[in-house]
Structure 1
Amino acid sequence: MTRDLLTEFLSKHPMSASLTPAEVDTLMQYLEVVETHHKEIIADIGEVGEGLFFVVSGTAALYDDDGSQEIEVGRMETGELAGEMSFFDRVPRGVRMRALTDNTRLLRLTRSKYDRLRVEHPYIAVNVLEFAIISLDHLIRRVSEDVATYARYLYAPGKK
């Protein structure tokens, strides 16, 4: 995928809605492309997040692993952000992220590049941070809906 296509992807991304084309190009200078293959581990359980990932193409799946089996607990599709929890709170990851498709492409913002971005281009960094907050909000809402559905199933009115 060429830099022009990546810049086009990023310029259409909701995170960049208030950025100028020049600011999107500046942001691209802080990102690196990660290309993965089917089932390749992108981020693993126990690692402290040293990077945020924007899914450009393909799908990544999130897995819980109790040591005997992996269980899929979520998916990250094109346009979504992944790895933000461990990146910001520096607590080791609780799930494993694997590429679910061949040629899953991601843009990675490393911690060192984010730290530079915050100092050199704070307006752009605020846009990244706001998108991370929105991403976490969506995650919490999905989990809340799943818990509510599960609770309704277990404790349905009239069920004895």
Structure 2
Amino acid sequence: MSTTEVPRIITSRFDHEDSFTLARYEATGGYQALRKALGMAPAAVADEVKSASLLGRGGAGFPAGVKWGLAPAEVWPRYLVVNGDESEPGTYKDRLLMERDPHQLIEGVLLACYAIGCGQAFLYVRGEMALAQERIAAALNDAYAAGYVGRNILGSEFSVDVVLTWGAGAY
């Protein structure tokens, strides 16, 4: 039987003890996609995501670029909502990303906001995910301080505020 090594893209930083830090994320190419996107038209960013056939992380695997195109052109203001509840039994794909590589999630939020013309995002984390809450909160603070989130991101005209909220736990 032959085995083929599958490249690790989303989980490539997971083996590092400091995978959740801004320093590790930047050292491994983090926020470079955001820098690239800010030099492009928002529609071009959405087109690139479509042509890359990136899929959402939900159970349906819906194409991200198609989803981004569903925002009505004439409706303002726009908001992005990220659901980090992950209530399917035995599923930990989102929890692992939030705990081990929160900056990757934040950069994805920023790219989506830029592509669809959003100025505010809401990131919800399940109440039982205390480590994910802690790591995302710290990552957001670091991202704001570094100029990746907030007003005039990286000296551009693009501004986004990200609001982190969490539930009280399942009943």
Query: Where on the TM-score scale, by shorter chain, does this alignment land: which range?
Result: 0.3 to 0.5
TM-score normalised by structure 2 residue count:
0.31
Structure with max Cα Rg? 1
TM-score normalised by structure 1 residue count:
0.32
Larger strand fraction of residues: 1
